[in-house]
Amino acid sequence: MQESPAALTPPTDNPYASDPLGHYLEFLLNKREQGTRIVGLYCNYAPVELIRAMDAVPVSLCSSSRRTIPAAEEILPANLCPMIKSSFGYIRTNTCLLYEISDAVIGETTCDGKKKMFELIAHLKPTHIMDLPQLPDEAGALDRWVETVGRLKTFLEREFKASITEDRIEAEILETNKKNRIINHFFDSVACHPPLAHWREIYDVIGLDSFLKSERLQFVIERILQRLAERAAEGIRFGNDRSPRVLVTGCPIGGDAAKVLQIIDEAGGVIAGLEACGGMKGYCIEIEEGTGDPLRAVAEATLKIPCSCMTPNRRRLDVLDEMVARFKPDAVVDVVLHACHAYNIESLKILRHMKDRHGLPGLKIETDYSDGDVERIRTRVEALFECL
C-alpha cells in the first residue's frame, strides 16, 4: 500500500477544489448581478429552505480568521469567542464581502455573545433574530419553534416582497434531502481504513451544496468518487493501517482553527470524522417529506440539530454513536473555542460517554484562532497517540 503524504494531496477531479471560496464568490456575484437576493445567516437553525423557496441565496457569515480580531477587540471583550470577534471584526472593517452583498441578515439566540453582537450590527441591514427554544424535548417547544419559523417566513416575504408558497418549501425540502444523500455518499470514502480522502478534500466538498443544484452536485461527486476508486486501485491512501483514526468533535474548526486538524495529520493520525456543525453533522438530519405542512416539517428538522445550546442534549450523543459506528475511530479530540461555555462544559459529558460506551480515549483542546498554542496542542496530540 502506498501512503500519500498529506502535504501532497492528489487532485480529486473536483472542479471547485483549487479555489472553492473563489468559485463560491463568483457564483454569488453572478447571482446578484442577475437580481437575486442574498440572505446572510449565522447558524444552521435558520432554515435555508425558506430562503431558497423565494429564489434567494443563503450564505454563511461566520468567520474563522484571526486577521480581524484586533479591530473587534476595540469594542468587544478580549475574552469573547473568537468566532464572534472574527465575524464582527470583518463587518467593522468592511472587509466581509459576503456581509456586504447580503440584503438581509438572520440571527438566532444560540448564545449570549452572538445575541449581543447582533444588536451592534442590526442597524446596518434588515436583521431578523430567531428565538430558539433550548429545551427541545419540553412540551410545546416544537410548536413555539414552528411559530418562530413562521415569523421568519413573514419577515422574508415582507422584506423582499415575495411569496413563499407551501409547494416551493416542499420542493426545497426534497432538494435538501437529495443533496444530503449525495454528500453522505461521499463521506463513505472516509469510512474506509486507511481513508481515500484527505480532510482538506472533505472540507472542499462540504459546502458545495450551498451553490450547486442537486443534479450538478451529483455529477461533481460522481467524478470525485471515480477518482477515489482510482486511488484505491493504485493503492493510494492517507496514512496506513497503524494510523490512529480520530473523530473530531466540538466547535466549528474551519479557517485558522483547522490548525488542530493539521496537527493531528502531522502527528501521524487521520481524520475519521468531523462532528462540528461546520462538518458532517449538518448532513445527518433528513426533513420529512410530503407531510402536508412543509413549514412545520422544516421546523421539526432544524430543532433536531444537536448544538450544545440545547439541554439536555441527548441528540448529540446519538449522532456521535452513529458516527462511531460508521467511521470506527480510535480516539476522540473535542475542540472547544475559547469562551464557548456550552461546548466547554458539555465536553466532560461527551468524552465520558465516548469512553464508557465505546472505550475510546479522548482529549479536550481549548483554543482560538492564534498560532501561539500550536506546539502545546502538538504535544498533547502526540501523547494521546502514544497511549493508543
Mean pLDDT of 173-183: 96
pLDDT at 42 over 50: yes
pLDDT, tens digit, 9 for 90 and up, residues 43-93:
999 999 999 999 999 999 999 999 999 999 999 999 999 999 999 999 999
Mean pLDDT of 342-364: 98
Residue 14: predicted pLDDT: 64
> How many whole angstroms separate alpha carbon 58 and alpha carbon 39?
5
Q: What is the pTM of this model?
A: 0.93
Q: Would you kindly state where each structural domain of the chain is located, as residue ranges?
A: 20-166
Judge contact between 299 and 145, C-beta under 8 A: yes
Angstrom distances, CA of residue 74 to CA of 77, 92, 111, 341: 8, 10, 21, 22
Residue 17: predicted pLDDT: 61
| H helix or E strand, kind and range, residue 64 | none
Residue located via cell numbers 471547485: 16
The proportion of the chain whose per-residue pLDDT surpasses 70, expressed as a percent, equals: 95
Mean pLDDT of 141-152: 98
pLDDT, tens digit, 9 for 90 and up, residues 305-345:
999 999 999 999 999 999 999 999 999 999 999 999 999 99
Residue 13: predicted pLDDT: 60
> How many whole angstroms separate alpha carbon 152 and alpha carbon 128?
7
| Strand 57-60 versus strand 38-41 pairing type | parallel
Give Cα 127 distance to the centre of its chain: 22
Q: Which three cell numbers stand for residue 343?
A: 461546548
Of 132, 181, 185, which Cα lies nearest the Cα of 285?
A: 181
Residue 3: predicted pLDDT: 47
For helices 294-303 and 166-191, what crossing angle results, to 10°? 30
> How many whole angstroms separate alpha carbon 34 and alpha carbon 56?
11
Q: Which three cell numbers stand for residue 11?
A: 487532485
> How many whole angstroms separate alpha carbon 339 and alpha carbon 168?
40
Mean pLDDT of 172-194: 93
pLDDT grade for 1, boundaries at 50, 70 and 90: very low
pLDDT, tens digit, 9 for 90 and up, residues 185-211:
999 878 989 999 999 999 889 888 888
> How many whole angstroms separate alpha carbon 132 and alpha carbon 149?
10
Residue located via cell numbers 474563522: 64
> How many whole angstroms separate alpha carbon 345 and alpha carbon 71?
29
| H helix or E strand, kind and range, residue 358 | helix 341-358
pLDDT grade for 18, boundaries at 50, 70 and 90: low
Query: Where does residue 328 fall: left (phi above 0), alpha (psi -120 to 50 degrees), or beta otherwise?
Result: left
Lowest mean pLDDT segment, chosen from 160-164, 193-197, 247-251: 193-197
Query: In sequence order, what are the residues at sequence separation of 6 or more whose Cβ sits closer than 8 angstroms to the Cβ of residue 349?
Result: 317
Q: Which three cell numbers stand for residue 279?
A: 462538518
Burial class from Cβ neighbours inside 10 Å (0-12, 13-18, 19+) for residue 286 reads middle
Judge contact between 304 and 315, C-beta under 8 A: yes
pLDDT at 5 over 50: no
Q: Name the DSSP letter for residue 194.
A: S
pLDDT, tens digit, 9 for 90 and up, residues 109-144:
999 999 999 999 999 999 999 999 999 999 999 999
Looking at the domain that runs over 20-166, which CATH code has it been given?
3.40.50.11890
> How many whole angstroms separate alpha carbon 159 and alpha carbon 345?
39
pLDDT at 2 over 50: no
Q: Which residue has the higher pLDDT, 303 or 208?
A: 303
On average, the pLDDT of the chain sits at 93
